[in-house]
Amino acid sequence: MNRAVVILLSALAASTAFATTYVRVEKDGTKTYSDRPIPGGTEVELQSAQTYSAPPSQTASTAARSKEQQLLAEMGDPIRYDSCALTPAAEQTFTNPESLSLSVALKPPRRVGDVVDLRLDGAPVGGENALSFLVKPVSRGTHMATVSVKDKYGRALCDASSTFYVFQPSLNSPTRQAPPPPPKPKPAPKPKGG
């Protein structure tokens, strides 16, 4: 009997979504269920089956996020430098220098992990994370020094540039040439008829 009740209940559960259910209580207290009206039975209003949807797990949502999104969340907002200055100052002019010192002043001082890129006329100078560089010899003309400081994620924290000028008069310059020798005196003309 128990097996028959289980089978009947299973069939009943499968059919509840599609049909009305009827129940009749027998003299011994057992209940008989049917999808058709039965004598002495009453219509039963069944509630829909309870369902449960688990919330997405933290691991699944983390795995679904792209690596870029995870990196952005890890990075947070960058902490920038208060000031970033280059020496020589912009628009300075130097005449006949034997050497020039490029230097970077950061406030606060460079943090561990931040990368300094010091360049002169577009070429890197001073090596990795250099804050100064001695230029020797110094060629004449217009020069541009630039510095860029980035964090370990490549975000710019500080940028500065300075254009300066080096003047070196040439040997052919009128100020550097020896004065021309004085003209030789012309001999006095000889008198005619003499």
- Euclidean distance between CA atoms 127 and 119, whole angstroms: 10
CATH 2.60.40.10 placement within the chain = 83-167
- Strands 156-167 and 93-95, by their bridges, are parallel
Dist CA 177 CA 169 (whole Å): 11
The mean pLDDT value of the chain amounts to 80
Q: How confident is the model at residue 16 (pLDDT cuts 50, 70, 90)?
A: very low
130 vs 6, higher pLDDT: 130
Pairing relation of β-strands 115-120 and 123-124? antiparallel
**Is the domain 83-167 a CATH 3.30.420.40 member?**
no
44: pLDDT confidence band, cut at 50, 70 and 90?
confident
Neighbours of 158 (CB within 10 A): 20
3-state secondary structure of 139: coil
Q: What is the pTM of this model?
A: 0.50
Task: Give the pLDDT confidence of 88-135 residue by residue, as tens digits.
Answer: 988 999 988 889 999 999 998 888 888 999 999 999 998 888 889 999
Dihedral of the alpha carbons of 170, 172, 178, 180, in degrees to the nearest 10: -170
pLDDT tens string 124-177: 998 888 889 999 888 889 999 999 999 888 888 889 999 999 988 766 655 555
The conformational region for residue 126 under phi > 0 = left, psi -120 to 50 = alpha, else beta, is left
Range with the largest mean pLDDT of 36-40, 66-70, 147-151: 147-151
Instruction: Tell me what pLDDT residue 65 has.
Output: 66
31-34, strands of its sheet edge to edge: 31-34, 21-25, 42-44
